[in-house]
Amino acid sequence: MRRLALILATLGASVAGAPAAQAAAPIMPLSDVHAGMHCTALSVIHGTTISSFDADVIDVVDGLGLDGPAILVRVSGPAVDGTGIGPGFSGSPIYCDDSHGVSRNIGAIAFGLGDYGNKLSLATPIQAVIGEPVTPPARMRTLSRRESASIRRLATPLTVSGLTPLLAQRLTAAARAQGVPVYASPAGPLGSFPRQQLRPGASVAAGLASGNLGFSAIGTVTYTDGNAVWAFGHPLDAAGRRALLMQDAYVYTVVNNPNGDLGTTYKLAAAGHDLGTVTGDSLNAITGLVGALPPITELTIRAADLDTGKVEHTRAKVPDEIALGPPSGISPLGIVASTALADAGVRVLQSDPLRETATMCVRVAVDGHARVLRFCNRYVGDGSFFGNGGLLAASDLDSATALLDSVQFPGFRVRSLSASLDLRRGLAQTFMTGASARRKVAAGHRLGVTVRTLMRGERRRFTFKLNVPRHLRPGRYRLTLTGPGPDGTGGGGGGLAALLAALLGGPEGAGGGPPGPSELGPASFADLASQFARMGKYDGLAATFTRARRRHPPHRRLPALVERAYRNSALRIGGRVTIRLRVTRP
């Protein structure tokens, strides 16, 4: 049979006491599937009601770079005539009658072909779907480099719900620019919806978070056997062993886009209740168990508007996959925490000003350790989008979660992560124009220093005591005070697009990200605590004492540095000034 010229586009998952799953149904081996069979497919079109539509078998084709043969089908019927099929339909089971009139499951809708109207699909045979183990071994085959190059172009969309419209719009646009499909969805139907039984045709989500924000890949249940569930008909990341949330989902509508090669029809949906654990992510399906949830990290974000006193809280449950590798290279916490922080900043200010000052403190509790990991930083934007204070804080939080992902010692589990973000409109920054001090001071004594500053016409003075190093030899010195300017000057961290690239796997980084293959992460909790604390950056004045006369030999002209000379809690002081003075014996 002549090979089809295919433009594959995934139809799988979208960004975004439990009921028992349904018992196993009869299946049909691929050898019994043939062209001309008139079959029925099941999927949710609106809400949680499972609808049916026709799926006619055109032929059985070879895998074309996939993991085996596939079933080529054409869908029709009132449920799909107006839209066709797209992301969210992945996993929709297809039932055909055998020679005895018994309805049997032949496979799962999994891939689209980019046809106008989105009516053609490749289905993964049911034997391939249920051949994937419910709980894969810790080490198993993943996609080859060639398969990855093909499949990842069909990247399973991520559905994010509960974001502010402003951040949702920017996130989807930036993700699109990086080639990462992301859909923004409302948080959930008003009044919620009843917990659903995961049965063939029902909507199911592989959840990266639940709570005020939802991050999920949404598709359809293909097959169940007791509390075991198979879904999607293709991989999420093909990462093997997983520990994600398994959730039910609510479908608002099917968004129509007939131009499958330019963008496709998809289900606008949101994840709902936590029902169990997604335990496997294999080439032909994701798998899971209804019942116990995976290990959970409690995420709490507090954002405060210092100008109005308004405070917002965001809380989410995030599955902890760090102990598994993490399998996809970045843990759910690494994706969710930074996005939640950026969203909280926009939400509390009800805006996203370019000139913005932020202070963030991060605390992480780890199982088995009383010591809490922590750091605090202040961020002063540079007046461009690259230097927005809240975004700079989110980038630092991304780096912090990347450090957690890189841990090398066993038994590591993050119990909770909390981040407190204080925001103020404008730049809390001033610059030194001059300084004064007594002309004579004894080594080892304290020197009173006054610095004069100017920012946008406002002149201020700051006075502080500076500890003069005891080891200074008597003589004339230049005391130089230096302070940092705004963060992000000259391009900063690359803005939202670069942050999303780091979070969602785009080609550019934002300065965070886990260590590379040649780098080892923390080998002990003490090492981790030390590295975590070093993420806190001092942004005050530093002082340098340098011998004023050049006749002294070079080793006697080496400067003496006081790294932490003075820091003002309200304003960052930048610039460079020099005072001439004489140091005497102690």
Residues 479-490 have pLDDT tens digits of: 999 999 998 644
Whether the predicted pLDDT of 521 surpasses 90: no
Average pLDDT over residues 361-370: 97
Question: What is the amino acid identity at position 288?
Answer: G
Average pLDDT over residues 466-486: 94
Whether the predicted pLDDT of 160 surpasses 70: yes
Whether the predicted pLDDT of 578 surpasses 80: yes
Q: Distance (Å, rounded) from C-alpha 17 to C-alpha 288? A: 16
Q: For the whole model, what pTM was predicted?
A: 0.85
Q: Supply 355's token pair.
A: 């000139």
In the structure, what pLDDT confidence band is assigned to residue 491 with cuts at 50, 70 and 90? very low
Q: Which helix (H) or strand (E) holds 530?
A: helix 525-533
Average pLDDT over residues 101-106: 96
Is the C-alpha dihedral spanning 338, 489, 179, 242 positive or negative?
A: negative
What mean pLDDT is reported for the chain? 85
What pLDDT, on the 0 to 100 scale, is given for residue 259?
63
Average pLDDT over residues 401-430: 94
Q: Distance (Å, rounded) from C-alpha 433 to C-alpha 577? A: 7
The maximal CA–CA distance of the chain, rounded, in angstroms, is: 106
Residues 116-151 have pLDDT tens digits of: 888 999 999 999 999 998 887 765 443 333 433 333
In the structure, what pLDDT confidence band is assigned to residue 156 with cuts at 50, 70 and 90? low
In the structure, what pLDDT confidence band is assigned to residue 386 with cuts at 50, 70 and 90? low
What pLDDT, on the 0 to 100 scale, is given for residue 1?
31
Average pLDDT over residues 524-530: 96
Cis amide leading into 26 (omega within 30): no
Q: Which residue has the tokens 């039932």?
A: 95
Average pLDDT over residues 163-190: 81
Whether the predicted pLDDT of 458 surpasses 70: yes
User: Please, is 510 exposed, middle or buried when counting C-beta atoms within 10 Å of its C-beta (0-12, 13-18, 19+)?
Assistant: buried
Q: What is the DSSP letter of 27?
A: B
What pLDDT, on the 0 to 100 scale, is given for residue 546?
94
**3-12, 406-415, 521-530: least confident range:** 3-12
What pLDDT, on the 0 to 100 scale, is given for residue 352?
86
Average pLDDT over residues 192-207: 95
Structural contact between residues 388 and 328, judged by C-beta atoms closer than 8 angstroms: no
Residues ≥6 apart with Cβ < 8 Å to 572: 378, 380, 428, 429, 430, 483, 484, 486, 539, 540
Proportion of the chain above pLDDT 70, given as a percent: 83
Q: Where do the DSSP E strands lie in 381-494?
A: 414-425, 429-437, 440-442, 446-455, 458-467, 475-483
Residue 66 vs residue 260, higher pLDDT: 66
Backbone angles phi, psi at 28, to 5 degrees: -115, 125
Residue 245 vs residue 111, higher pLDDT: 245
Average pLDDT over residues 405-417: 94
Q: Which is nearest to 287 in space by CA: 219, 210, 333?
A: 219
Residues 288-317 have pLDDT tens digits of: 999 999 999 999 999 999 999 999 999 999
What pLDDT, on the 0 to 100 scale, is given for residue 257?
82
Across 64-78, 354-368, 475-489, the highest mean pLDDT is recorded for 354-368
CA angle 531–534–535, rounded 5-degree value: 100
